[in-house]
Amino acid sequence: MSQARIPIEICEHILDHLWDNTQALLSCSLTCRAWVTTTRVHIFRTIKLSGDRRCVQLDQLLTSSATASTTIADCIRELTIEGVIPGFDDVPDEDQTDQPGQSRPHSALQWIPKLLPRMRLVEELRLSCLHWDEVLEDQEIVNTLRTFSSNVKALHLLSVTFHDSREIIDLILFYPRVSKLGLSLIAWWNDAPDTGAPRPGNDELDVLNIQELHRAPHATLRRFPVIVTLISKIHSLRMRSIVIDLGFFTVDEISLDFFDWTQLDRVLTSLSERLPALVVSFSFKFLMQQDEVLPDVAQQLSSYIRGALDTGLRAKHICGGAVSGRSGYRVPDKVVWLA
């Protein structure tokens, strides 16, 4: 009598449930050759380029698996490229030399032309802690970022600084198939003038999440001109959600003067007429004292985008935050639909 065996489909289903348990997946990959393909897909789905040592290791893995039936490069779906963390430029990390006083090089950037062309199936790209001016200094890096994968559908920019607001839009347009765009802690030093020249848009975008955009220096200027520009470039008929998260305020400093509200109302009116399913969310977070309550800005917001609301735009105000102090606590979000 032949020995009973569990069908490979059931084994793969079990392995899928272990997607976030790297040690278990490594053990499984060494147990059965038939499980290698599935375990590799999970182990190498998410890759982070952040230091010279990691990049060297990844290069070796990609090279050694290039002739295998399942190449590691084809398993990579989510890629993070992390540069220098602002404020820590001269602190060596574990990936760098042990020489005292050695500054942290931008090693992830220098590896981009060598590593990224092999990652043709990346679907989600995250750029973190980068000075975009330094990227633009090397045209080979720019060209590689623009062309390495035609499958990028989600783009996240976190703590990236730009020379001017136009560079942000140019970067987004590198990836015309992006359907989810996240911008968090983005800073730019100058507002680029609008030349009026037609520029290509994104036809696939359906979720735009904007968090805490800063025009530097943030301590004295709290204006967000690029948000209106970004929204005005939306051409996708699939757009269904725009979330504008403006970060933390104190109750006594709340002010809504950071937009050209007339222009924003005009842009949202145009979008609402073309995209009846669109929902726009304005999110505020507050740091409060024990005796303070969440301010109500819903009525003021409604008056600022009255034209868009009259066309049927669905918009909501999300307000939450935290109470400071030793016995501080989180204040749950309060959602108010604007009318």
Q: Could you give the C-alpha distances from 90 to 61, 93, 110, 158, 273, in angstroms and in order?
A: 29, 9, 18, 21, 51
Residues 121, 108: Cα–Cα separation, whole Å: 19
pLDDT at 169: 82
| Cut 0.85: pTM above it | no
CB atoms closer than 10 angstroms to residue 106:
16
With H, G, I as helix, E, B as strand and everything else as coil, classify residue 278: coil
Predicted local confidence at residue 181, as pLDDT: 87
Q: What is the mean pLDDT of each run of 10 residues along the chain (339 residues)?
A: 65 68 72 71 85 89 82 91 60 44 60 94 94 92 94 91 84 87 79 54 69 47 62 81 79 74 93 92 84 84 95 93 82 90
Residue 20 confidence (pLDDT): 72
Under 8 Å between Cβ of 133 and 163: yes
Q: How far apart are CA 18 and CA 52, in angstroms?
A: 29
Task: Decide: helix, strand or coil at residue 1.
Answer: coil
**pLDDT for position 101:** 40
**Cα radius of gyration (the chain):** 24
pLDDT of residue 135: 92
Farthest CA pair distance, the chain: 81
Gap between the Cα atoms of 124 and 130, Å rounded: 17
